[in-house]
């Protein structure tokens, strides 16, 4: 089978794409994949790590305010559409999978008008702008939440959850994960992640938090992003507790497995991974996300009893430390949160998406 994947900009878009590709490769060892994304963005690095051919487009998001720059962005979109046509014509995909991000717009739009089946995946509880545009002519729309908000053809939608990589579906034991990170197996572990780029507000709060715990109270795995690593090392050097600082963690599944509590942004992939690992969490939604979609993701976890939601503007060292102490001191509550997180997991998401794609390709579901 030949499939073209498009989308990216954040790990929230590339992680489910990776999970779906892994599942399709498992089912079809001769699978041919081409990834089309934004030049120089995270998706180009992800494609390289998967040894998947990558083609770049020079696009950017549509300015929300009326500005002369809109004309320049429109020209870039037109040029991206022309290049997309060339990429599609040469690769000849049997289906195109869009995982969101504005780079997927020209690729999916052109594919739809070339009569190629297109499927899209929406990771968030609120349908993104690009997916809202593309959904009207999509062959299939995969949703992560039954309560997804936004306009889309309901008869072509399937609630599958957010696909996560295989490592999160079959994690190592907590003891093994703690040993791999050089942590004491008997002391609670807190994993802190502001995403691949880090989060300034979380890092600033954590600089105070790590100095507030004794060595026997907690240990920390802290992913800071490249820009926050130096300050985090300085803060942890004054801490009594064990603090493992990483600009980026390749083995995030292992880090999750080691943790008792996870402090995280509320991105779609992060929350899906937390649910899959059955972990209690403190979610701090990124306040500048488009349409504040992270607020919607966090609300789903809050309503289920799986997370404590801490608004970014309230994310101080004092408040975060208080939340952590409250959770770490109540094992019964942590167990209840873990069970609630497990109830939100969709372990078969990647398999269900792959099954639908194979059905569309080989049963020749007509494009709309």
Sign of CA dihedral 332, 337, 338, 339: positive
Query: Are residues 41 and 101 located together in one domain of the fold?
Result: yes
Give yes or no: residues 230 and 157 share one domain.
no
Domain interval for residue 294 = 169-344
Check whether residue 268 and residue 358 sit in a common domain: no
Q: What is the pLDDT of residue 282?
A: 98
User: Over pLDDT 90: what percentage of the chain?
Assistant: 76
Query: What confidence score (pLDDT) does residue 63 get?
Result: 66
- Examine the pLDDT at 83 and tell me if it is beyond 80: yes
- Structure tokens given for 242: 């064990």
Do the domain assignments include residue 367?
Answer: no
Query: Would residue 60 count as lying in a domain?
Result: yes
Q: Token pair of 127, please?
A: 């349908």
Q: Are residues 126 and 246 in the same domain?
A: no
Which is more confidently placed, 170 or 157? 157
Mutual angle of helices 11-27 and 268-276, in 10-degree steps = 50
Query: Residue 265's pLDDT is what?
Result: 95
Is 368 among the domain residues? no
Q: Rounded CA gap, 152 and 133, in Å?
A: 9
Q: What is the pLDDT of residues 175-214, one digit of tens each?
A: 999 999 999 999 999 999 987 666 899 999 999 999 999 9
Res. 347: pLDDT tops 70: yes
What pLDDT, on a 0 to 100 scale, did the predictor assign at position 198? Answer: 63
What pLDDT does 162 receive?
92
What is the structure's pLDDT at 72? Answer: 76
Q: Are residues 139 and 190 in the same domain?
A: no
Same domain, 326 and 199: yes
Residues 151 and 185 in one domain: no
pLDDT the model gives residue 366: 47
Residue 7: is its pLDDT beyond 50?
yes
Q: Are 294 and 285 in contact (CB under 8 A)?
A: yes
Decide which of 147 and 234 is more confident.
234
Residue 14 in contact with residue 8, Cβ under 8 Å? yes
> Residue 158: what pLDDT?
95
Is residue 244 within 8 Å of residue 181, measured between CB atoms? yes
Report residue 110's pLDDT band, with 50, 70 and 90 as the boundaries.
Answer: very high
245 forms beta bridges with: 222
**Number of independent structural domains in the chain:** 2
Distance CA 216, CA 173 (A): 22
Answer whether residue 94 is part of any domain: yes
Mean confidence (pLDDT) of the chain:
92
Q: Is the pLDDT of residue 61 over 60?
A: yes
- How big is the CA angle at 113 (ends 109 and 118), to the nearest 5 degrees? 60
CA distance 282 to 275: 13
Which pLDDT band holds residue 21 (cuts at 50, 70, 90)? very high
pLDDT, tens digit (0-9, with 9 covering 90-100), for 252-290:
999 999 999 999 999 888 999 999 999 999 999 999 876
Note whether residue 252 is domain-resident: yes
Q: Quick one: pLDDT at residue 367?
A: 47
358 and 323 within one domain: no
Q: What pLDDT is stored for residue 293 in this prediction?
A: 80
* 122 plus 218 within the same structural domain: no
Q: Is the pLDDT reported for residue 364 higher than 60?
A: no
Q: What are phi and psi of 5, to 5 degrees?
A: -110, 135
pTM: 0.82
User: Are 333 and 354 found together in one domain?
Assistant: no
Backbone phi, psi, residue 287, to 5°: -75, -15
Scanning 92-199, the segments in alpha helix (DSSP H) are 104-113, 129-135, 166-169, 174-180
Residues 215 and 325 in one domain: yes
> Does residue 113 sit within a domain?
yes
Same domain, 148 and 68: yes
Q: What is the CATH number of the domain that holds 308?
A: 3.40.50.2000
Mean pLDDT for 117-135 is 91
pLDDT at 170: 86
């Amino acid at each position: 089978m030949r499939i073209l994947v498009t989308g990216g900009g954040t790990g929230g878009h590339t992680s489910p794409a990776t999970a779906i590709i892994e599942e399709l490769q498992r089912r079809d060892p001769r699978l041919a994949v081409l990834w089309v994304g934004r030049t120089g963005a995270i998706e180009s690095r992800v494609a390289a790590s998967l040894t998947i051919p990558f083609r770049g487009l020079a696009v950017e998001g549509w300015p929300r305010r009326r500005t002369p720059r809109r004309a320049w962005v429109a020209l870039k979109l037109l040029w991206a559409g022309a290049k997309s046509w060339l990429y599609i014509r040469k690769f000849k995909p049997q289906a195109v999978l869009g995982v969101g991000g504005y780079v997927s717009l020209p690729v999916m739009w052109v594919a739809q008008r070339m009569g190629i089946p297109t499927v899209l995946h929406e990771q968030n509880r609120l349908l993104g702008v690009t997916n809202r545009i593309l959904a009207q002519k999509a062959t299939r729309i995969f949703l992560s939440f039954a309560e997804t908000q936004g306009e889309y053809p309901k008869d072509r939608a399937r609630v599958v959850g957010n696909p996560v990589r295989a490592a999160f579906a079959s994690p190592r034991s907590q003891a093994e994960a703690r040993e791999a990170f050089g942590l004491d197996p008997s002391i609670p572990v807190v994993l802190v992640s502001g995403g691949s780029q880090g989060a300034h507000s979380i890092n600033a709060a954590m600089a105070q938090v790590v100095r507030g715990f004794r060595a026997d109270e907690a240990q920390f795995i802290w992913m800071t992003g490249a820009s926050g690593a130096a300050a985090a090392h300085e803060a942890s050097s004054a801490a009594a507790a064990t603090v493992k600082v990483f600009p980026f963690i390749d083995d995030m599944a292992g880090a999750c497995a080691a943790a008792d509590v996870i402090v995280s942004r509320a991105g779609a992939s992060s929350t899906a991974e937390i649910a899959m690992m059955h972990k209690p969490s403190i979610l701090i939604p990124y306040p500048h996300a488009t349409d504040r979609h992270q607020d919607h993701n966090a609300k789903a976890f809050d309503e289920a009893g799986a997370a404590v939601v801490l608004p970014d503007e309230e994310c101080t060292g004092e408040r975060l430390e208080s939340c952590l102490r409250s959770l770490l001191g109540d094992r019964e509550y942590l167990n209840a949160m873990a069970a609630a997180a497990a109830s939100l997991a969709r372990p078969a998401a990647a398999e269900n998406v792959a099954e639908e794609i194979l059905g569309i390709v080989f049963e020749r579901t007509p494009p709309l």
